[in-house]
Amino acid sequence: MSLTKTDLIKMADEAYPDNLVIQNYDQKKGKPKDAHADTLALFIVRELHETFDEGAPDEKKLYEAFRVLRRACHELAAVRNTFRDALLRVNPNALDNDAGSF
């Protein structure tokens, strides 16, 4: 098996709500579309597009996709935590009934 960029984007699309990842990818041109309503899905497409190495073995392609999205998760978590901390300074009980998983 030799994974293509489209294969990776389709894998991401299967995990993302409403097939919004694939809607941000122009399969004919092999690149992200210019704009779409779901900017997080577009971000995923751009990350996969920009880091894809056609000549790499599949394991390397999969690892790189995992690596760049893991890094993005850490960066987003840092920003989210900044807002959480600011909210809790304003109201220490603001998240008492929040059932969020993060």
Residues 19-65 have pLDDT tens digits of 899 999 999 998 998 876 789 999 999 999 999 999 999 999 999 99
Q: Does residue 101 belong to any structural domain of this protein?
A: no
Percent of the chain clearing pLDDT 70 (strictly above):
95
Q: Does residue 97 belong to any structural domain of this protein?
A: no
pLDDT-derived band of residue 102, with 50, 70 and 90 as boundaries? low
pLDDT exceeds cutoff 70 at 90: yes
Q: Does residue 102 belong to any structural domain of this protein?
A: no
pLDDT-derived band of residue 1, with 50, 70 and 90 as boundaries? confident
Domain span at 55: 5-90
Q: Does residue 96 belong to any structural domain of this protein?
A: no
d(CA 55, CA 63): 14
Q: Does residue 95 belong to any structural domain of this protein?
A: no
